[in-house]
Structure 1
Amino acid sequence: MSRIVFFLVPGVHLLDLAGPAQVFSTAADFGHPYTLTYVAERPEVPSAQGLPLVARTDWPALGPEDLVVVPGWRTGTLADSPAVADASLKALADHHARGGTVASVCAGAEALGRAGLLKGRRCTTHHDVQDELASRHPGAVVVRDVLFTADDRVITSAGIASGIDLALHLVAGRHGPAVAARVARDMVVYARRNGHEPQSSAMFRHRSHLDDTVHRVQDLIDTRFDQPLPLTGLAAAVGVSERTLTRLFGRATGLTPLRYQQTLRLERAEHLISHGATVDAAARSVGFEDARMLRRLRARRTPVSSVSSAANARSHSPSR
C-alpha cells in the first residue's frame, strides 16, 4: 500500500490539492490501494478560495513507496510565500533521502527549493513565477512551458490543473497506462503527458473521438490487452457484429481492434525494456507467447510522430 501525503500551506489552492487527490482516490476505487493523508503545521488551514481545511499536524511513518505532494498557494511572488518551518522542510528532504518521491504543484516548487531538493534537478512551476524560481534557486534547472518534469524522484508541475497531469503520470508509471487512462476517463479529463512531448500512448492518441461503442471496446482492451481478445468476444460485449465493430473502430481510431491491442502491448513492452527487463520477459509480461512477435513489431514500428500525424489527418478527413 502506498500513502499519499499532501503537505498543506496556508493559502493553498483548492484545485492544486483536489486534482491530484481525486486521481489517487479514483485509482484506489479501481483497486489500487492508496491512503490519502493531509498534513499541515496547524490543524486548520485557510485555502485561497476561502474554504478552511482540516489536517493532522504530525507526519505519518513513510516508506520508499510513499509520495509527498506540496500543492501550491496563492502568492504574488515566491518571496512573499507563506513561511514553512524548518522541521517541515526537513521532513520533505528526509523522505526523499530515504528513497521516497516528492512532488509539487504550481508554487509548491518553492517549498521543494527551500528543502534543497531542486539543486541540480529539472523542475517547473507556474509560468508567472518561473523566472523567480530560477533566480531564488540558482542550482535548479527550471524548464519553461511544460506541464511537469520528473528528475530523480522529484516531480514538479506547472499551474494548478497540471497537478492532475502529474498525478496521472505517476499512476501510469506505477500501474501502467491502462489504469491512468481509466482514471482519466472516469474523471472526464484528457490523459495528457508532458507539454513538450508527443501524446505517445495509443490510449491517449486514439481517445479523441466521440464514439461510445468504440470507447467501451477500448476500455475492454485497455484493461486486458495482455490477454487473448477475439473479435467475436469484443463485438458481443458491446452488442454489435464483428463487421460493424471493425468499421466503427477503424473510423474512430484508424486501427483495427487487433492492431490497437498490439500497439498497447508494444508500448508497454518498450516501457518495461527501458526499465531493465529483457525482451523475452517483456514479451511474456504483455501477453506474447514468445519474443518473436515482439521483435517483429519493434522492427517495423512507425515513429510516434508519424502515427500521430496520420491519425490526425484521418480524424479531419470528411466521411466517405
Structure 2
Amino acid sequence: MSSNRVIFFIFDSVHLLDLAGALTVFYESGCCGKPYDMRYVSPYQNPGTSSGLGFTNVEPLSSVTVDQNDIVIVAGMEIEKWNRADDQLWMPWLQAAAKSGAIVASVCTATFALAAAGLLNGQNCTTHWAWTTTLQQKYPLLKVIENKLFVQSGRIFSSAGIATGIDLALYLIEQQHGAAFACMVAQDMVVYIRRDGAEAQSSIYLQNRQHINQYIHQVQDYITKNLQHKITIGELADLIFVSPRNLTRLFKSATGTTIGQYTQLLRQEKAKHLLKTKHKMAWIAKECGYSSTAQLRKSVKEAND
C-alpha cells in the first residue's frame, strides 16, 4: 500500500534547504494531482533553523504514531549545535518509526541521527561529502558510500547534501506513482530530471548553473521545462529580448557550453533515466524531445561511449 502521509522530523538548527527541498517535492505532487498529508514534528516546541529562522506550527513527537505506510524524512541539522544530551527526547520515537516498517530517510547531516539511533549498523549510507569521513570514523559499523546522491538500505534511505533531498523525494514519488508522474513533478519544479542514487553528487544541471546571469538562468529553466519540444535559439532569444547571436555568446560565456550541447546533455540524462523504466521506447523518445526511437538510441549510445 502506498503512503499519503509524509512526516518531516525537525531538529533544532535544522538547515532550511534540507527541509524545504524534499518538502516542496511532496507539495508539488499535490499540485500535480497526487496530494500528501504533510506533518511536521520535533522534539522541541519551537525549533529554529541554522540561519536563524524559527518554526511555530510544529507538533510534538508524541502526537504522531508512525505506521508502515508512512514516509519519515529527517532534515539535516548543524552538527556543531546538535545537542546529544537530548537523545532520549527523540531517539526512541525514531527507532519506533523504523521498527514500524515506515520509510525513514535522512537528508544531509541527518544521517548522523540515523546512525546514532542504530538504524544504519552494517548498512550502506551516505551524507554530505564534507562529512563522510567523520561519519565513518564516528560510526565504524556503517558502510559510508562517498559521492552518491542517495543510498537505499531496505526501508532506510540516506541522501547527500542540500539539494539531493529533492532527488530522493522525487525517487520516492516515482516509486509510488511512476516515472511519468515524477517527471511531471520535476518539470513543475523546473528541476532538469530526477537523478538516481547511483549518480555523483554533482549534475549536468548544477555544473552549468554556477553563474550569476539571471537571464541565462531563465533560458536554462525554459529548456529544462520544454525538453520534450523542439527548442529554437530564436524562441530562447525572445525570452530575454536579445538577438540569437548575442544569446549564443552570452550562454557560452556563462555556462562554458553551447545551447545545443546543454540541451543534448539534459536529454541524454533524462533518456537514460527513463530507459530504466518499463515505458515504451516511443514514449521515452517523445518525452525527451527525440524525433524517433532510432535517434534516441543513437544519442544514448553516444552518451555511453
Kindly provide the amino acid, as one letter, of the partner of residue 259 in structure 1. Answer: Q
Aligned counterparts of 1:253 and 1:76: Cα–Cα separation in 2 = 37
Matches within 5 A, 1:1-320: 3-8=5-10, 12-16=11-15, 18-27=16-25, 28=27, 31=31, 35-40=37-42, 44=45, 54-56=58-60, 57-59=62-64, 67-71=71-75, 82-83=87-88, 84=90, 86=92, 88-96=94-102, 100-106=103-109, 108-111=111-114, 114=117, 117-124=119-126, 126=131, 127-134=133-140, 138=141, 140-143=142-145, 146=147, 149-152=150-153, 153-157=155-159, 162=161, 164-171=162-169, 173=171, 174=173, 175-176=182-183, 179=187, 182=190, 197=200, 199=202, 201-277=203-279, 279-301=281-303
- Aligned residue for 2:228, secondary structure, equals coil
1:138-173 residue CA offsets vs partner (Å, 9 max, x unmatched):
3x3134x65764124533256xxx3x2331322454
**Aligned twin of 1:313:** none
- Aligned residue for 1:156, secondary structure, equals strand
Distance 1:58 1:87, change over 3 A: same
**1:181 Cα offset (Å):** 7.6
Structure 1 unaligned spans of 5+: 185-190, 304-320
After TM superposition, the score normalised by the length of structure 2 is 0.70
Aligned residues: percent identity? 25
Aligned counterparts of 1:250 and 1:52: Cα–Cα separation in 2 = 42
Kindly provide the amino acid, as one letter, of the partner of residue 133 in structure 1. Answer: Y
Structure 2 unaligned spans of 5+: 174-181
After TM superposition, the score normalised by the length of structure 1 is 0.67
1:89-146 residue CA offsets vs partner (Å, 9 max, x unmatched):
22233243xxx352254255444663x6424421245454532222xxx3x3134x65
**Aligned twin of 2:178:** none
**1:230 Cα offset (Å):** 2.5
Distance 1:112 1:39, change over 3 A: farther
Distance 1:48 1:277, change over 3 A: closer
- Aligned residue for 1:217, secondary structure, equals helix
**1:250 Cα offset (Å):** 2.9
1:4-37 residue CA offsets vs partner (Å, 9 max, x unmatched):
31234xxx33234x32222245443694555542
Kindly provide the amino acid, as one letter, of the partner of residue 242 in structure 1. Answer: P
- Aligned residue for 2:73, secondary structure, equals strand
Aligned counterparts of 1:147 and 1:248: Cα–Cα separation in 2 = 32
Pair member with larger Rg? 1
- Aligned residue for 1:5, secondary structure, equals strand
Distance 1:281 1:63, change over 3 A: farther
Aligned counterparts of 1:19 and 1:35: Cα–Cα separation in 2 = 20
Indicate the RMSD between aligned Cα atoms, in angstroms: 4.2
Aligned counterparts of 1:14 and 1:243: Cα–Cα separation in 2 = 48
**1:246 Cα offset (Å):** 2.2
Q: Is the 8 A contact 1:102 1:155 kept in 2?
A: yes
Kindly provide the amino acid, as one letter, of the partner of residue 59 in structure 1. Answer: V
